[in-house]
Structures are given as structure tokens and as C-alpha cells.
Structure 1
Amino acid sequence: MTVMALSLDRHDVILNPYPLTGPIGITLGLAPWLIGGTALALHDPFDHAVFVQQILTTGATVTALPGTVLDRLLEDGIVTDPQCALRHVGRVCAAPNLGDRLAVEAPADRGGFELYPLGDLACLIEGDSKRLGRGTLPSGVFQIADHGEVTAFLETALVAGPEPDTKDIAVRGPLIPKVRAAEDATRDTGARDARNFIATGLRGEMRNGRLAVIRDPDLVYHGGFTIAASELDGLYQAFPRFLDAACFVLPDPVMGDRIFAAVVPDPSMPVSLAALRDFLNERSVASYKLPDKLLIVRTIPRDAGGRILRDQILKQI
């Protein structure tokens, strides 16, 4: 879909700042490289100065970035620099409502587009229509025209969520898996419904005829991945040097959410972030589920029902 949506060919060079193992990296990098024969330049982990140098020296014609990073490139004149060969500049709307804060427009000759990761099921690319309300998805059938032929790749809709009075964004189409992998599902959304839709695990609502992702307190939005917070809790709690543990997040302009581990250590045992990471790596836990930092706390706050009160964790410091 990326090749058709952006009219890419073997002369294009994609500068991809996302891991190829995630939904954004596959859509922006791996798939067009394999299918369209484009050149692929990788940039991970993200370093702003190095990325700017790559834009100006690799001949990159396509890239996509979180809106805050792209805004900085536009404001600094990087995108309009004579050495910049970019002809497609995309904004990645990976965290709920992230797009609502964006203001700077890419030049008309740079082929602006927006990229929306839909959980672990798909990504959607849409041309930049310079809307006032960014970060919203088209509702209904998403089509791409190629040489006069129109192909329907994806259809989006709202379906009943797992809790009363909630709605989930669901998708169906020829490229959508028949079922989600159980180990990757953020909720019990593995099966298709009677209309053949499968839920993405993203909570949503309608805004002016379009779909908007709204934050779910039980999910973590990290670099295009959507992760159940309870899954991270279980991973960190399994470390034998901890008496208790939980994840919490802080906002990050590039990744959406930065992941941290709050832990109550066993006082008789040494504890470190490196030791926790080694433990998780030995169990083949995906790298995007590893915490960036470790915070030692007295207790993990919970309500009467045992639910972790993540907003209370930092108040212990």
C-alpha cells in the first residue's frame, strides 16, 4: 500500500527512523523496500543531529516522523534546504491526540502525508489535506487509485468496546490478518465480529465524521506499538529481585510514551536496570517492552480492588 499511496519506485530512498520490527517500520521501510525496490536508509535509535545530516547527505526522498520532530525540521528550514531531496514528508500520529497540537505545514512540493499505526494490525497512509484537526482517521472504506483502477485496501469502523459505553476502532480488508496473535493482543480482540471486522485495541470516537484515537489508561503507546500496561506489570513483577513492580509512563515527543519501571526491591538483593534488562532479554521479551529507567519506590499504590494507581507512583518521590 505504501508504494501505491506515495507512488514510489526504485529511484526513491526511504529514510526510516523506526525499528523494522514494528508496524511503522514495516510500513515505512521494510514493505516498500521489499515490494517496490526502493533504497532504504535506517536510523535507529533516534538522534536529531545525525538524522538531519542523513536527510542532507543520503539523497533521501521519503521519510516520516512524529509531528513535534517534523515541526522542528520545518521551523529550522531543513526540509526547504537546497540539499534536501525529500519529495514525501510524513507525520506519524502514533499517540492519542498527538496530531491535535501540530501547526507547521510541509511545503506543497514535499508531498505531505500522515501515517497512522492501528495497533499491531495495520498502518494507514493518507495524503495531507491540511486539516485543522489533525490526528484523525477516515471512517469507512479507504481506497487508492492506480492507473485508473481503484482498490479498496482497508475499511475502518467503531465497534463496541470491552467496557460499557466504550468504542474500539476496528478494521477489515484484504491485508488484515484473519486473527490477531494472542500473545500480542492488548485486549480480548483476537476474533472477527459478524461483519468481519477485527478490533485494533485502540479506543476511539467520532469527530466531525472522522475517527479519533482517545487515550486508554490501560494501554501504553510507545513508538507506534500499543501495549497493555498489565502485560508490562507482569513482566517486571516476574523478576526475582523485586517484591513488587509496575510500569508507568511519561510523555515523549518522539516515542509517545516513555516506559519506566517502578519497583519495590528485595532489600537483601542488589537491583539495577541492567539486571532487569538482562532478565527480560533472556526470556526473549521484545525490546520495545523494556523500561528506559528504573524507579525504586516504597510501595506500588493500588485501589481497594487491587488496580494499580499509576498516577500516584511519582507522588512518592
Structure 2
Amino acid sequence: AGGFRPGDVQLCLAPLVNMTALGVQFVPWLLFGGTFVLHHPLDVELSLRQMVEEKVHFTIMPPAMMNMILKHPRIDDYDLGSIRTVTSGSAPLSPWAVEEFQRRWGIEVVNIWGQNEGTGLISGPADIPDPAKRAGVFPDWGRPGTVWSVAGVETKVVVPEDRRPVTQPGGVGELAYRGPNVMPGYFGRPDLNGKAFDDQGFFYTGDLFQIKEENHLAFFDRKKDIIIRGGFNISAQEVETSLAGHPKVLDVAAVAVPDEVLGERTCVFVVPRPGQTVDLAELVSFMKEGDMAVYKLPERLEIIDRIPRNPVGKIVKSVLREEILRRLGAQKGEVEA
């Protein structure tokens, strides 16, 4: 499902401290052999040179880096034809980016989701041949009557409050996961284990997934990152994925901004491409063209030099939440003055 072959040249862009590098690349390298090329900290220009000079076959990169590579001003100078497979995760993939990697270089992009606890879902061409669809959904492993390229793993989606099963397409709930790859528990923390595992051995991930047609699942958001606008749940990830395809946007993150009337509204932090300017109206227009529901449209835009990310590319939303509160406070002070 992951696209490995014996003797592959792998480029490891993640630090060897978590499952992104260890589970997705290091352990398969031990099994298949080949060449293991290291890279850290993340540098787009250097990584492109390594891909070309080392004739890389396989690598993993966050979705934001895929977008940055495609929007690189000199991307046509780099021949990435040696690469067969790119895996990407930590956030939903842009269908545009997945299709562009295949169109430009014939690279198959494998969509992955996982956690340090050992959970993992893989959406590869063997199970989901259509690149655009693969960007957004995963196989619902273990569902009765279905056969996928990975066996021995079971998933279910449940209501977080009482763990009742969610089965109807469109329904959203917490993903529960059971398989031999999951850790046995948190060391010395029976309090955490009692909440994280049920008596059937399912691990409760804390991530929300949506039931899709044809026995598929889609990552919806992390419970703590949901934006609740007037009682409606908005996936920050969905907003980010939509705007990642905008030609003027280099990187983007969505967070909730407090609102006295609706509780929360959506604010997007945007890093424009070099030499470009972006305004809220054109972002909203772009999302409307993609048939985004009106209540999900961003209502505030903040321009920023860099989106804060951890070493594996996940957006550090806490920093952005603090930043928007700081900017709101400064704005209020100016008005009062």
C-alpha cells in the first residue's frame, strides 16, 4: 500500500523521533534495504537538490511542502522524474497538488494518516486509483464485506460523548482503531489508558472522521481544531485544503476567532507567494467557485510571513490562536485610543 520496492533510494525529510520517519520510512528501509538519505531541518530548496542529485525513488512530505514545490518559481529547472512515490499526511491533501505531481512527473501520491501511538491509514493507488479522490478519503479497513490491500486492522467511527457507532454517509465522529500496530498502552498511566482504550481493544484517536460512500472514510478535523460558528461545525482543515489551491497562496492556516454574536468565526492566516498580494474577497470568491458552503467561508484574513509548524509539518494552531488574540487586542486598543 505504501509503494516501497527493494533497493529504493529514500529521502527522509522528517526527524527520526516519531512515527512519520520511523514507521513510514525507517522500518521499511530495514525491511527492504536500499539507500536512506537524511534531511533536517526542512529546507525546500535543499530537498529539491537532494531529490535530483540522489535520484530519489520514495519520500514523504507534508501537504504544505507539496504546494510550495509546485509553486516554486524555478520548479521547471528540477527533474523529479526518478521519484515514483510521495507519501503525504499530517493534514488533508490538496487534490490539485496530488493531480499536479502525477501530471508533471508521473509521481503517485499516497495519502497517509497516523499517530505516534501506532495508528495508521493508507490511501494508495491500489485501493483508490483516482488521484483526486485519494487526496480526500481512506479505505474503511475492517468493514465487513470489503477487501483492501491491508488486512488485520479494524476501524469504526463513534459519537465522542457516548461512543455510539456512526454509520450513515455524511456522519462525523471520533475514529476508533484496533490492530497489531497499535501500542499496548501509555507507560505507567492507567488513567490515560482507561480513557483511550475500550474493553475490545479499540484505541480512541481523538481525531474526527466522516463516513463517505463506497466504504471510505475522510479525515474531518482534530476535535480541538473544530470552529463552531453559530452552532455549525466547520473543519479548519477543509478551509485550508480549499485555499491551498489558490494560485496566490503559498501557505495557509485556519483558526477560530472569538465573536460575540456567533461564538466563533473563521480566520485564515495566509503566506502569499513572493510578489503577490491577497485580499479576503478574492479568497472567498475562489472558495465559492469550489461550491464551499457559505457558513464555512473565512470572515477575517491575516497576512503572515510564515505558518508555524512542528518538525513534521503540522500547523501549531496554539501559536496562531495567541497571535489573533494579540492582534485583536492591539486593534481594540487603537480604537479606544
Alpha-carbon distance in structure 2 between the residues aligned to 1:53 and 1:46: 13
Q: Structure 2: which 5+ runs fail to align?
A: 165-171, 227-235, 237-305, 331-337
Alpha-carbon distance in structure 2 between the residues aligned to 1:207 and 1:218: 22
Q: 1:169 aligns with which of 175, 178, 183?
A: 175
| Superposition map of 1:60-71 within 5 A | 60-71=56-67
SS in structure 2 of the partner of residue 70 of structure 1: helix
Residues 132/59 of structure 1: CA separation in 2 closer, same or farther (3 Å cut):
closer
Residues 125/38 of structure 1: CA separation in 2 closer, same or farther (3 Å cut):
farther
Is contact 1:178-1:192 (8 Å) kept? no
SS in structure 2 of the partner of residue 18 of structure 1: coil
SS in structure 2 of the partner of residue 178 of structure 1: coil
Letter in 2 for 1:161: P
**Alignment pair present for 1:212 and 2:208:** no
| Superposition map of 1:22-37 within 5 A | 22-37=18-33
Letter in 2 for 1:137: F
**Alignment pair present for 1:201 and 2:214:** no
- Cα distance, 1:46 vs structure 2: 0.6
Residues 74/261 of structure 1: CA separation in 2 closer, same or farther (3 Å cut):
closer
Q: 1:191 aligns with which of 193, 197, 201?
A: 197
Residues 99/182 of structure 1: CA separation in 2 closer, same or farther (3 Å cut):
farther
In the other structure, the counterpart of 1:105 is 100
SS in structure 2 of the partner of residue 257 of structure 1: coil
Letter in 1 for 2:111: E
Residues 21/33 of structure 1: CA separation in 2 closer, same or farther (3 Å cut):
same
**Alignment pair present for 1:6 and 2:15:** no
Is contact 2:158-2:176 (8 Å) kept? yes
Is contact 1:190-1:198 (8 Å) kept? yes
Alpha-carbon distance in structure 1 between the residues aligned to 2:76 and 2:63: 14
SS in structure 2 of the partner of residue 45 of structure 1: coil
Q: 1:53 aligns with which of 49, 56, 62?
A: 49
Residues 181/100 of structure 1: CA separation in 2 closer, same or farther (3 Å cut):
farther
Bigger strand share? 1
Residues 42/119 of structure 1: CA separation in 2 closer, same or farther (3 Å cut):
same
Per-residue CA shift, 1:123-155, capped at 9, x if unaligned?
33321423544232221339675xxxxx61422
Per-residue CA shift, 1:247-300, capped at 9, x if unaligned?
xxx9558823135569xxxxxxxxxxxxxxxxxxxxxxxxxxxxxxx97xxxxx
Per-residue CA shift, 1:179-226, capped at 9, x if unaligned?
34576x9996432343x32212212221334222223452699xxxxx
Residues 216/6 of structure 1: CA separation in 2 closer, same or farther (3 Å cut):
closer
In the other structure, the counterpart of 1:159 is 158
Alpha-carbon distance in structure 1 between the residues aligned to 2:159 and 2:188: 20
Alpha-carbon distance in structure 2 between the residues aligned to 1:218 and 1:107: 33
Q: 1:86 aligns with which of 83, 86, 90?
A: 83
Letter in 1 for 2:100: E
Per-residue CA shift, 1:82-119, capped at 9, x if unaligned?
464212122x2312x45467463323743332222246
SS in structure 1 of the partner of residue 185 of structure 2: coil
Per-residue CA shift, 1:43-95, capped at 9, x if unaligned?
121111111111111221101222232244346585995464212122x2312
Residues 159/65 of structure 1: CA separation in 2 closer, same or farther (3 Å cut):
same
Residues 258/192 of structure 1: CA separation in 2 closer, same or farther (3 Å cut):
same
In the other structure, the counterpart of 2:258 is none
Alpha-carbon distance in structure 2 between the residues aligned to 1:21 and 1:30: 11
- Cα distance, 1:313 vs structure 2: 5.0
In the other structure, the counterpart of 2:329 is 316
Q: Structure 1: which 5+ runs fail to align?
A: 146-150, 222-249, 263-293, 296-310
Alpha-carbon distance in structure 2 between the residues aligned to 1:188 and 1:160: 17
Bigger helix share? 2
Alpha-carbon distance in structure 1 between the residues aligned to 2:152 and 2:173: 23
Letter in 1 for 2:28: P
Q: CA RMSD in A?
A: 4.0
The two structures have a TM-score, normalised by structure 2, of: 0.56
Is contact 1:144-1:153 (8 Å) kept? no
Residues 38/115 of structure 1: CA separation in 2 closer, same or farther (3 Å cut):
farther
Q: 1:179 aligns with which of 165, 182, 185?
A: 185
Alpha-carbon distance in structure 1 between the residues aligned to 2:329 and 2:27: 45
In the other structure, the counterpart of 2:36 is 40
Residues 178/61 of structure 1: CA separation in 2 closer, same or farther (3 Å cut):
same
